[in-house]
Structure 1
């Protein structure tokens, strides 16, 4: 499929989710392989969640120099156990660390007794060397990681901080099957900020599924401000958005006829 550009954001639409996932996986493999070839190591931030499953599964088919790659994740609920089914640490451990065997995985400790100290610790790890790639998605309300509408800051001096989840994000976690009801979802999370996410040399955004169609449309059309955090991607020339047919349904008028 041809690559389309809307302002500074490149995007590509695939008829099948599997094709989208394979393209994103190939892109990830390429970035990490080049980084290792150039500098001997690579550093990547990887999102969790249902929308990333096809992409991560597709990674198994590509040759990635994992023994020289350090992995970060981008958020974790405050107060959640690392073995809880909804824990993002568990997601990374089961879907990245165990199958791929990266050199190191740096986990956000959601059970830290001092949340501010944990934010500072993780920020120092992120800032210690350049990040080669951020692999992320778009929330149903346009959040990036857990940078929520009204709370996101495009110029945040901090790279990691505590965020209060909006009602929409709480409901999304229930809708994805991670919690039985809204009351069971932890109300706050530790999250990388927008500047941290976009600091990577390259940014890959994978947003499949019909439930993301409205968020994709908003990302591509709304004014660029924090009422829809994902709109900042249109000012991010080193980002590329991968869509499948379902997530692109609300944005077809923005795409060339050949897409």
Structure 2
């Protein structure tokens, strides 16, 4: 694990974007293309803003993302498809964007995504860490064993509170009960993982992730076993580390 602590979330975003662009450009130079996974949420704002300033040939990049609520229309403020169209695809004309769709025939949507993501390895995954230490929507106790690429999960109360706290919903009752998520095992198959985790609300999750045993109750703890994991914190999110 490569740990970097910046003073502010903005500095964190710039440093992580430098590394992400370096990896993507290196893959394009070496193999002519790159495949990436993006995470969403308020914690990723500084990183995505900094990434917009990087020189990358996005026409050689295929993009996947981690999760989407079941039954939530793309027009909703909380839709991760909407988020990525506005905060990434607006400046990154990628070769192909494979967006998780929680509407319509969800089983077919998952099958199609699975076929595409399993076609070739993922070069770089941007994997945030939630306030309950979830990765994607793999809330505790997370399933570390399934061989599926995506699955439908029930969201726990802590996860729902985070979504309300970040302003995506007005109340817990408005948060959908289910979501489609990329599984832990599929995330861990990525060649490189970068995690951007700023803000004090993530400090306890970071302490648990780094200071405890690998545990399904702390889903992000599994990242410690990855051979090329880059963790970017700011002073606030690192405040509970020894």
- Aligned partner of 2:98 among 83, 86, 106: 106
Determine if the alignment matches structure 1 residue 34 to structure 2 residue 26. yes
CA contact (8 A) 2:139 2:219 kept: yes
- What secondary structure sits across from 1:100 in the alignment? coil
- Structure 2 unmatched runs, 5+: none
Which residue number corresponds to residue 215 of structure 1? 205
Distance 1:70 1:87 in 2: 20
- Aligned partner of 2:166 among 156, 176, 196: 176
Aligned-pair CA distance for 1:117:
2.7
Determine if the alignment matches structure 1 residue 245 to structure 2 residue 231. no
Which residue number corresponds to residue 143 of structure 1? 134
Q: TM-score, normalized by length of structure 2?
A: 0.97
Distance 1:67 1:31 in 2: 16
CA contact (8 A) 1:119 1:162 kept: no
- Aligned partner of 1:16 among 5, 8, 11: 8
Which residue number corresponds to residue 119 of structure 1? 110
CA contact (8 A) 1:138 1:215 kept: yes
For residues 79-119 of structure 1, the C-alpha deviation after alignment (integer angstroms, 9 at most, x for no partner) is: 01011110000011111112221111111111023x23322
Which residue number corresponds to residue 185 of structure 2? 195
- What secondary structure sits across from 2:89 in the alignment? helix
Aligned-pair CA distance for 1:32:
0.7
Q: CA RMSD in A?
A: 1.0
Aligned-pair CA distance for 1:197:
1.1
Which residue number corresponds to residue 78 of structure 2? 86
Distance 2:132 2:9 in 1: 21
Distance 2:94 2:113 in 1: 18
Q: How many residues align?
A: 242
Which residue number corresponds to residue 176 of structure 2? 186
- What secondary structure sits across from 1:243 in the alignment? strand
Q: TM-score, normalized by length of structure 1?
A: 0.91
- What secondary structure sits across from 2:73 in the alignment? coil
Distance 1:43 1:126 in 2: 9
